[in-house]
Structure 1
Amino acid sequence: MSHSTPHPVELADEITRRLGQLADRLSQLPPAQAAQVIARVLDADNGVFGGITHLMATGSMFAKDQAERGVLPAEVWLALGRASNELNDIALDLDEHQGTLRTQPATTTAAAPAPVPLVVRRRR
């Protein structure tokens, strides 16, 4: 039996619902498994984050075309372009942490890890 492609709006709704399910399950996973799921989600090439970034870039191209035709205000195109660029920058920032997330140990050691102060570092 073949599956027909759902209406795009229904597809967007289904993706949103499934992301909610994933978030609910993520909070219940053991730390090592949760880290692996996060790593897959954040994968810039094959993950959800990469897919959303690609979707925003495609939306920006659509909005540009529509703005040039006078159908959409230029501000819509600019906002989508800005969102696309920001998501791409975030993907680049997160990419360096993929290996760490993928290789979280499955079991914890006898000694609890020492807490570390949270420091915000941002490179651009």
Structure 2
Amino acid sequence: MTVYDPEALARQTAQQIALLNEHLTVAPSEQAARILGQVLDPHEGVLGSLTALVATGSRFAQDRASAGLLPPEVWLALGRAANELNDIALDLDDHAEDIHRLTQQQQTTTVPPAPSALVARRHR
């Protein structure tokens, strides 16, 4: 049985995410799309795992707030964060196929795709 130091694990996880970010900034388009697809995967990706971690932290804070050991605002803030992350994951899941399609494109495309207007529309 392997014993982990959870604080060291949290530091290592943050370091790994920073390293992944560095790779993403220089990755070719297809590889960047594959990285994003894995990060955004709602079941096994980083975003889903982070959402679950924040939700667990919210339950921890709720227990401590109920015992008077933490201000209730801490619990509420963590709960809001978990809900927002979940909403963001749902919004991004709507676009998973678009990201996946980038992993399938050939780099030798003769006609560049037409740029689209960058207009943000939120729908939930």
Whether TM-score is above 0.5 comes out as: yes
Counterpart residue number, 1:55: 53
Match of 1:75 in 2: 73
Aligned to 2:107: 107
C-alpha distance after superposition, 1:30-74 (max 9, x if no partner): 101101110110111110000000000000000000100011110
> Aligned pair count?
122
- 2:106 is the counterpart of 1:117: no
- Aligned equivalents of 1:6 and 1:20: distance in 2? 21
CA distance in structure 2 between the partners assigned to 1:15 and 1:113 by the alignment: 36
1:53 counterpart letter in structure 2: T
SS in 1 for 2:26: coil
Pick closer, same or farther for the CA change 1:73–1:115 going to 2, 3 Å. Answer: same
Which of the two has greater helix per residue? 2
Contact 1:33 / 1:106 at 8 angstroms: preserved in 2?
Answer: no
The alignment yields a C-alpha RMSD, in angstroms, of 1.1
- The structural deviation recorded for 1:5 is 3.2
Q: TM-score, normalised by structure 1?
A: 0.93
Partner of 1:8: 6
Summarize the Cα distance change of 1:65–1:106 in structure 2 as closer, same or farther, 3 Å threshold.
farther
Q: Measure how far apart 1:122 and its partner are.
A: 0.2
User: Where does residue 85 of structure 1 map in the other structure?
Assistant: 83
Q: Identity percentage over the alignment?
A: 48
Instruction: Classify the secondary structure of the residue corresponding to 1:103.
Output: helix
Amino acid in the other structure paired with 2:116:
V
Name the SS for the 1:27 alignment partner: helix
Whichever residue aligns with residue 78 of structure 1, its letter is: L
Further displaced range: 71-80 or 109-118: 109-118
Structure 2 unaligned blocks of 5 or more: none
| Off by >3 Å, runs of 4+ in structure 1 | none
1:115 alignment partner AA: P
Q: Which residue of 2 aligns with 1:18?
A: 16
